[in-house]
Amino acid sequence: MSVAFATGLITMLTLTKLQTEILSALRDGQLLTLDNYNMPFLDERALQPQIRYFLTENRLITRKDTTRAVDAKGNGFTISKKGLALLKAQNSNTNASSKKQT
């Protein structure tokens, strides 16, 4: 399954429940920040570094301000256009599969 995006097709990634929750929180305006030890936080909630690596390697999140250090106060990661498209596609697939079951 694939989702049309910008210059071509992207392969549909399978997101875990936690990854979906993080992308939804970022879509709603929260910010993923890093501490001095490169540990990611979503507000006060500590996350595993592998989650951030997965999201950045697949370009689902992007830096808020690329001119400043990512660990600078007020800077961090926000959801990217690709992340929004994937989240929207996953939500529509979930809604379609739940309608089939009823």
Query: 8-63: per-residue pLDDT in tens?
Result: 445 568 899 999 999 999 999 999 999 989 899 998 999 999 999 999 999 999 99
Does residue 102 sit within a domain?
no
Q: What is the pTM of this model?
A: 0.79
Does residue 67 sit within a domain?
yes
Counted domains in the chain: 1
Does residue 99 sit within a domain?
no
Does residue 73 sit within a domain?
yes
Residue 51, pLDDT score: 95
Residue 35 belongs to domain spanning = 2-94
CATH number of the domain that 37 lies in? Answer: 1.10.10
Q: Residue 77's closest CA among 10, 15, 30, 44?
A: 30
Residue 2, pLDDT score: 45
- Which residues, 6+ apart, have CB-to-CB distance to 90 below 8 Å? 15, 20
Does the pLDDT value for residue 87 go beyond 70?
yes
Does residue 18 sit within a domain?
yes
